[in-house]
Amino acid sequence: MTATRVLVLNSGSSSVKYQLLDMRDSSRLAVGLVERIGEETSRLKHTPLTGGGATSREREEPIADHEAALKAVAEELATDGLGLDSPELAAIGHRVVHGGLKFTEPTVITDEVLAEIQRLVPVAPLHNPANITGIRTAQVLRPDLPQVAVFDTAFHTTMPESAARYAMDVKTADEHRVRRYGFHGTSHAYVSREMAKLLDKAPEDVNVIVLHLGNGASASAVRGGQCVDTSMGLTPLEGLVMGTRSGDMDPAVIFHLARVGGMSIDEIDVLLNKKSGLIGLCGDNDMREIRRRIDEGDKEAALAFDIYVHRLKKYIGAYYAVLGRVDAIAFTAGVGENAAPVREAAVAGLEELGLAVDGELNSVRSDEARLISPEYARVAVAVVPTDEELEIATQTFALVRDRNA
Ligand code: AMP
């Protein structure tokens, strides 16, 4: 029997998201989430998708650690006849947030690879440790199976030095690996390719600006399938206004808050990562709630929206200039796929750049990739739903299939 299934694991510090896919037709066999690992109130939500109508099962019981979480997931999958001991399972694909400069491609995990992911912990202290725990746990469960790391940073390693380096002392930067790495890479890779498909062109023939607008948000400039610039930097804090992150600001704000505001570095870290962006500006980070408040005349919400869109527009302009010629702009992720007012406002007034949005097309709700620009517009504007799990599974399967070929 040929093994065609891939389990995708996205391990956070207290959560594990997973999907089991069959790569013969890229279909999902099961999806699920374990939350609040290590707390009394842990929860596992599992949805098998094989038997027609999807019925979720939930378990609410203390799940002590990632190993217990994966064991519980394995039990749920086994209940549906999809056990991890199945010979049909080809590999486990792990989302790994930071791959530094070394990992430019998906990589089969060996002890050396794991050690390198560990060495990158100082530049990704929130993410890489959880990813490592997920990998180690999965290795215990199926030591014989290839485990593949798919890095959020990999797609951005093609950025030229002019875009990747900060203008600071080179020696200090290199000593501490300070440079722009970029994140959401699997999404930017997937969406830029899907955008080319939508235009019926090869990825090599199109220049695309991808706007991944979720709770975290980033923009990228993709020339002929290769990333040439992206808005996130050393960490996912740089760039666009996000749900809870500030995005770009004068770095001296940090000195000011420390010296004049008496705040500690850790307090400022939490402020800029968790209490800024939309939530800092208006108390809400969900674009649905912000739009509802705007409709009721809420001025604070309206200003937060304007600041969000202003920054977005600046990046569209900047990446237009970086690319020189733009064929398409692709909106994706929670806000990008669902918030028509954000899309409309982001390109409003940019007709001189060949950019426009058709009001009617923009208001259509659909899960499909679709154009929203009028026929006459020089640049295609589109909504392209992202699918990071499918991209991780596809990259993982391509790697293990090639190895077995
Ligand atoms: P993500 O990180 O891609 O899952 O995106 C989550 C964010 O998408 C939420 O915080 C909301 O701001 C936004 N979002 C999700 N659904 C909608 C919707 N129907 N309309 C507007 N924004 C939405």
Give yes or no for a contact between 244 and 276, defined as CB atoms under 8 angstroms apart.
yes
* Residue 335 in marked binding region: yes
* Mean pLDDT score of the chain: 95
* Residue 17 in marked binding region: yes
* Reduced DSSP (H G I as helix, E B as strand, rest coil) percent helix, strand, coil of the chain, to 5: 40, 20, 40
152 counts as catalytic:
yes
Q: How many beta carbons lie within 10 A of that of residue 341, not counting itself?
A: 17
196-215 pLDDT tens trace: 999 999 999 999 999 999 99
Q: What is the pLDDT of residue 396?
A: 97
CB 286 near ligand 1, within 6 Å: yes
* Residue 159 in marked binding region: no
CB 335 near ligand 1, within 6 Å: yes
CB 211 near ligand 1, within 6 Å: no
Q: What is the pLDDT of residue 126?
A: 79
H-only helix segments in 324-371 = 333-338, 340-347, 359-363
Ligand 1 atom at minimal distance to the Cα of residue 288: 21
The closest of 141, 24, 123 to 71, measured between CA atoms, is: 141
CB 240 near ligand 1, within 6 Å: no
Alpha carbon separation from 148 to 174, 256, 358 (Å, rounded): 28, 43, 42
Q: What is the pLDDT of residue 404?
A: 61
Same CATH topology for 5-151 and 201-388: the answer is yes
Q: What is the pLDDT of residue 401?
A: 86
* Residue 352 in marked binding region: no
Partners of residue 335 on adjacent β-strands: none
* Residue 75 in marked binding region: no
Distance between Cα 347 and ligand 1 center (Å): 19
Of 5-9, 124-128, 400-404, highest mean pLDDT: 5-9
What span, in angstroms and rounded, lies between the C-alpha atoms of 312 and 220?
A: 11
Q: Which of 15, 215, 241 to mutate to test the pocket of ligand 1 (most atoms within 8 A of CB)?
A: 215
Alpha carbon separation from 339 to 150, 162, 174, 309, 335 (Å, rounded): 29, 33, 40, 12, 5
In this structure, the residue with its CA closest to atom 9 of ligand 1 is: 286
Q: What is the pLDDT of residue 141?
A: 87
| H or E segment to which residue 380 belongs | strand 380-383
Full 3-state SS string of 110-155: CHHHHHHHHHCHHHCCCCHHHHHHHHHHHHHHCCCCCEEEEECCHH
DSSP structure class, residue 203: G
Q: What is the pLDDT of residue 123?
A: 84
Q: What is the pLDDT of residue 55?
A: 87
Domains in the chain: boundaries: 5-151, 201-388
CB 333 near ligand 1, within 6 Å: yes
- pLDDT beyond 60 at 6: yes
CB 14 near ligand 1, within 6 Å: no
296-329 pLDDT tens trace: 999 999 999 999 999 999 999 999 999 999 999 9
Kindly state the percentage of the chain with pLDDT values over 70: 99
Q: What is the mean pLDDT of residues 175-199?
A: 97
* Residue 261 in marked binding region: no
The closest of 322, 317, 389, 391 to 354, measured between CA atoms, is: 317
244-262 pLDDT tens trace: 999 999 999 999 999 999 9
Distance between Cα 191 and ligand 1 center (Å): 17
The closest of 155, 164, 342 to 243, measured between CA atoms, is: 342
Partners of residue 174 on adjacent β-strands: none
CB 287 near ligand 1, within 6 Å: yes
Active-site annotation holder among 22, 152, 327, 387: 152
DSSP 3-state assignment of 108? strand
The domain defined by 5-151 folds into Nucleotidyltransferase; domain 5 (3.30.420)
44-55 pLDDT tens trace: 999 999 877 678
What span, in angstroms and rounded, lies between the C-alpha atoms of 388 and 334?
A: 13
Which of 20-34, 49-63, 145-159 is the least confident region? Answer: 49-63
pTM for the full predicted model: 0.94
CB 288 near ligand 1, within 6 Å: yes
In this structure, the residue with its CA closest to atom 18 of ligand 1 is: 338
- At residue 385 the predicted structure's pLDDT band, cuts being 50, 70 and 90, is very high
CB 215 near ligand 1, within 6 Å: yes
Ligand 1 atom at minimal distance to the Cα of residue 291: 21
341-364 pLDDT tens trace: 999 999 999 999 999 999 999 999
Q: What is the mean pLDDT of residues 384-394?
A: 96
Higher pLDDT, residue 160 or 51: 160
The closest of 121, 126, 86, 73 to 100, measured between CA atoms, is: 121
Distance between Cα 241 and ligand 1 center (Å): 14
Q: Which of 338, 342, 387 to mutate to test the pocket of ligand 1 (most atoms within 8 A of CB)?
A: 338
79-125 pLDDT tens trace: 999 989 999 999 999 999 999 999 999 999 999 999 999 999 988 88
DSSP of 6-71? EEEEEE-SS-EEEEEEETTTTEEEEEEEEESTTSTT-EEEEEE-SSSS---EEEES---SHHHHHH
Right CATH for 201-388 from 3.30.420.40, 3.20.20.70, 3.20.20.80, 2.60.40.1120: 3.30.420.40
Distance between Cα 334 and ligand 1 center (Å): 4
Q: What is the pLDDT of residue 158?
A: 97
* Residue 337 in marked binding region: yes
Ligand 1 atom at minimal distance to the Cα of residue 333: 3
Helices (H) and strands (E) in the chain, counts: 15, 14
- pLDDT beyond 60 at 1: no
Question: Do strands 107-108 and 147-151 pair parallel, antiparallel, or not at all (unpaired)?
Answer: antiparallel
Q: What is the pLDDT of residue 405?
A: 58
